[in-house]
Structure 1
Amino acid sequence: MLRKLPKYLSKCYSSYPMGGGVVRSKTITELKTKYHAQEPITMITAHDFITASWAQSAGCDMILVGDSLATNALGYESTTQIGLEEFQYHVQSVCRAQGAAFIMADMPFGTFESSIEKGVETAIALMKSSPKVGGVKLEVGSTSGALREQDYSLKLAAALCSRGIPVMGHVGLTPQRAHALSGFKVQGSKSAKDAAAIYQTAHELQDLGCFGILLECVPHKVSKHITESLSVPTIGIGAGNGVSGQVLVQSDLLGMNLGKIPKLAQKYGDLHEQSVGFIQQYLEDVASQRFPDNDRNGFKIKDDVWGDFLDLVGNSSK
């Protein structure tokens, strides 16, 4: 006679993780449910365990481990300077934070341009950085005519999607191509042809299988029109409020660094100024011997243990 399995075992599958207490990450299906319900999707960048923990605790729908961490967290002059191994280190750190956000990783500059095979290998490596990585973001140029048919990034997007790797296409201002675009400028604002190229690229990425499109520095009327014409979510940064969701760089939002933030961002606090102030207060407390306080910050020893200690080492106090 066969014994009936306990209920908690009968619903387990060989490929399903059994770890207790692990919060399940949101899925692409759940993100699309918000999209179809016309509920704005929230996304923010994170570059390590702490910033990811803040984003998770706040309840963000999505976390992007963007290559912007190169300039905003690591002190590089350009996002193009960070390599794959260093980038993966930060992806893994972000993924250690508990929470339900869908985590997506950038494809860093120099890790996919040499060949389709190299690009596929990079995407696989990023997906294998952690089980919590749900997809990759790929910057795609917006070209037209004969150049469009030769566009390598579109071919790579097709190769990734055909292999079941979730991809969000990134169009408009693509920072990795800033030199080719003559700097960090709004795209599609001065030429109808350029705006149409962004529109066409977004549609082609959707047709290739991308689960979403990120629009950066695109006029809000163009972004809204693109969003309304697509059947996948759009995430905007500097693209107005007619898109499906928004993303901001966390260091801009929190005011973590010195200097002005980009026009497309919103500064909700001044963490840099606050942090410097707190550290200065600590320095003053140490200099004035207000910190540490033996009663509040110190640890006591029992009188008999103290007496035995003095007997062992000799009472050298005067």
Structure 2
Amino acid sequence: MSVAKKDYKRITTKSLIEMKENGEKISMLTAYDFTMAHIVDVAGVDVILVGDSASNVMAGHETTLPITLDQMIYHASSVIRGVNRALVVVDLPFGSYQSDSKEALRSAIRIMKESGAHAVKMEGGAEIKDSIKKILNAGIPVMGHLGLTPQSIYKFGTYTVRAKEEAEAEQLVEDAKLLESLGCFAIVLEKIPAHLAEKVAKSISIPVIGIGAGGGVDGQVLVIHDMLGMNNEFSPRFLRRYLNLYEAMTGAIGQYVTDVKSKDFPNEKEQY
């Protein structure tokens, strides 16, 4: 018997758990500024991730590592002002939580107080459990992130699929169960085998949101610049482009340049 889709006026961590229980898939996209966040929110996306991927798509860095806590707070503050319905989750950036649980708590508190965000996201399992505990004990919701963890890219040395070998797969399952037991409200699984992601989703009661993790999980997340085709150089197997904005935007801008050069813009109706 199918359950009717509930009309959520505001998405909370509790809403996401209800969605999993009811078999309703969770939609999640990134946003980094007011205008894009407002569009994503109005379109009905459940969760907006202010990702440290801003380091790549907004600042042009090769990895997510350079972005700072202050920069993440700036992006998160901009996003929050454009959102009325979605749950806004903010990545704790590299270096703000890994080495010291007290520093992790200070970082999370700054994000929540200064941006108005609803939750934070952290990469890792057992190795960061003390930081997760301290943040959760302060009443701050935490979303976990396992599998390919981009903040550890220099440790991995590659962006290839993770947890293909049995030992790493077993550790990932253990870490997922640990994150649930600690009190995380959801977990992102990035670039792991679909069968393993489905196994994890079925073994825990909190939502599992995938990126490159197949369709057997509880929801999906993509980077907004990728799914809208603004970035034409990134084409992993898991990415579905819903628009080709790169082509549309370069065409429109090129036409503007032509119109200005030819004195077609502005015309008589476009001036005072």
Relative to the length of structure 2, the TM-score reads 0.94
Match of 1:193 among 167, 188, 191: 167
Runs of 4+ in 1 over 2 A off after TM superposition: 260-264
State whether residues 261 and 267 of structure 1, in contact with CA within 8 Å, keep that contact through their aligned partners in structure 2. no
| Deviation (angstroms), 1:136 | 0.4
Secondary structure of the 1:128 match is helix
Match of 1:229 among 203, 227, 230: 203
* Structure 2 match to 1:265: 239
Quote the Cα distance in structure 2 between the aligned partners of 1:33 and 1:258: 36
* Structure 2 match to 1:79: 64
Quote the Cα distance in structure 2 between the aligned partners of 1:273 and 1:45: 21
Deviations 1:135-171 (A, max 9, x none): 0000005xxxxxx5xx2x1221122122211001100
The AA in structure 1 aligned to 2:70 is E
Residue 136 of structure 1 pairs with residue 110 of structure 2: no
Match of 1:114 among 99, 104, 113: 99
| Deviation (angstroms), 1:227 | 0.5
Quote the Cα distance in structure 2 between the aligned partners of 1:228 and 1:112: 29
Question: Unaligned stretches of 5+ in structure 1?
Answer: 1-22, 142-147, 300-318
State whether residues 63 and 150 of structure 2, in contact with CA within 8 Å, keep that contact through their aligned partners in structure 1. no
State whether residues 42 and 60 of structure 1, in contact with CA within 8 Å, keep that contact through their aligned partners in structure 2. yes
Quote the Cα distance in structure 1 between the aligned partners of 2:95 and 2:81: 26
State whether residues 72 and 91 of structure 2, in contact with CA within 8 Å, keep that contact through their aligned partners in structure 1. no
Cα RMSD, aligned residues only: 1.4
Residue 155 of structure 1 pairs with residue 140 of structure 2: no
Quote the Cα distance in structure 2 between the aligned partners of 1:90 and 1:114: 24
Match of 2:212 among 210, 216, 238: 238
Match of 1:58 among 23, 31, 43: 43
The AA in structure 2 aligned to 1:139 is E
Taking a change above 3 Å as real, the CA distance of residues 199 and 216 of structure 1, as seen in their structure-2 partners, is: same
State whether residues 212 and 232 of structure 1, in contact with CA within 8 Å, keep that contact through their aligned partners in structure 2. yes
Higher relative contact order (CA 8 A, sep 6+): 2
Quote the Cα distance in structure 2 between the aligned partners of 1:182 and 1:257: 23
| Deviation (angstroms), 1:26 | 1.6
Q: Over alpha carbons, which structure has the higher Rg?
A: 1
Quote the Cα distance in structure 2 between the aligned partners of 1:254 and 1:33: 29
Question: Unaligned stretches of 5+ in structure 2?
Answer: 1-7
Match of 1:170 among 122, 125, 145: 145
Alignment identity in percent? Answer: 38
Secondary structure of the 1:292 match is coil
* Structure 1 match to 2:19: 34
How many residues are aligned here?
265
Relative to the length of structure 1, the TM-score reads 0.80
